[in-house]
Copies of this chain bind each other. A is one copy, B any other.
Amino acid sequence: MITMTEIAKLTHVSQPTVSRVLNGSQTVAPEIRERVLACAREHDYQFNALAKGLQGSKTKLLGVLVTDISNGFFADLAKEIETAARKSGYSIILFNSDYNPRSEQEYLDVVRRYRVDGVLAVPIRETSGSWQEYVKKLDVPIVAVTRQAQGLDCVYVDHIQAGAMVAEHLLERGFRRFLFIGKDYDGKYAGFRRALEEKGMAERAVNVVYQEDAQLNRALAAWLRSSDQRAGIFAGNDIYALRVLDALRTLEVSVPEQAGIIGFDNTSMGRYLNPRLSSVSQPIARMAREAVDRLLDWIEHPGQREPLNHPLSAVLVPREST
């Protein structure tokens, strides 16, 4: 691939002059500019981003670290981030931690090796010590997306509030005992429980960690059998919800008459399911854009600043399943 030095030789000017032309400096004689541009076009010059990055500090690279890109929610998020970043001329290095903290740490190192200008991350567990320690070593701007991380810029949906909203929805729809499917340290569960407590229904809320199909079905069947009050199930994400829906069908439990189910993330499949799935919608595109905007602003105007703590509101989308 042709370099500035080679173009300089071909056009009989100095290499920095070529640099000026190709970077759009106005202080070059029109005649030279034309000659250089023509030569660059002819040889399809593409600047060497590594050399540029080695020199100034701008690599125009952003590290994007997600937990599981094969989850539709994060895939959408990654897509929106990519689009937003690209608009400002940034490219993206993608990392998939797969919920493995060792990978996550490794990636935080890799990101530094490539001297990315900034990082957008979905931490596995933003409260863990090792995460915070690793973030401190990272000497580039970082914005947490989708999670509320202490002392960091973060753009996220308030899961506690969202969980409470779900609780209210299920109560309103007449469900009288409750199951949350997901991790017990999930903010959604905390909010869910708290809202139920306020109605004096705390002891009716149960948590089941997500697990293999067969186990899940067994746990679900046992819980459903334990009472015949209408059961409201809150799944930590739409994928879980889909599986629950299937399990309920197997168990011949009618939805939403005997049991209701609501998911989270409002992935596009929800509106086509049978029954159509109630869910909670996160403003993905907006989160992505705000996170990228914030990150780029920080990159382009460095300096100390108050960490941004920016909870967006989730929207409950009621459909047939509740």
Residues A1 and B51 in contact in the complex (CB < 8 Å), given A69-B78, A92-B93, A272-B243:
no
Q: Which residues of B contact A44 (CB under 8 A)?
A: 137
**Complex contact B114–A50 (CB within 8 A):** yes
Residues of chain B contacted by A273 (CB below 8 angstroms): 242, 246, 273-274
Q: Which among A105-113, A160-168, A197-205 touches the partner chain?
A: A105-113
This chain's copy number in the assembly: 2
Beta-carbon contact of B70 and A59 below 8 Å: no
Check B82 against A69 for contact (C-beta < 8 Å). yes
Indicate whether A50 sits within 8 Å of B46 (C-beta atoms), given known contacts A1-B112, A274-B274: no
In the assembled complex, the CB of A35 is this many whole angstroms from the nearest CB of chain B, namely 22
Question: Does B95 contact A82, Cβ atoms closer than 8 Å?
Answer: yes
In A233-255, the 8 Å CB interface with B consists of: 239, 242-243, 245-246, 249
Neighbouring B residues of A68 by C-beta, 8 Å: 79
Interface size counted on chain A using CB atoms at 8 A: 51
User: What is the chain B residue whose CB lies nearest that of A109?
Assistant: B46
Give the residues in chain B near A137, CB-CB below 8 Å: 44
CB-contacts of A15-33 with B (<8 A): none
In the complex, A173→B300 CA distance in Å? 62
In the assembled complex, the Cα of A113 lies from the Cα of B139 at a distance in Å of 25
A72 close to chain B: CB less than 8 A: yes
Considering the complex of A and B, which 9 residue pairs feature the smallest CB-CB distances, nearest first? A246-B272, A75-B75, A94-B94, A49-B113, A274-B274, A50-B50, A46-B112, A70-B79, A50-B54
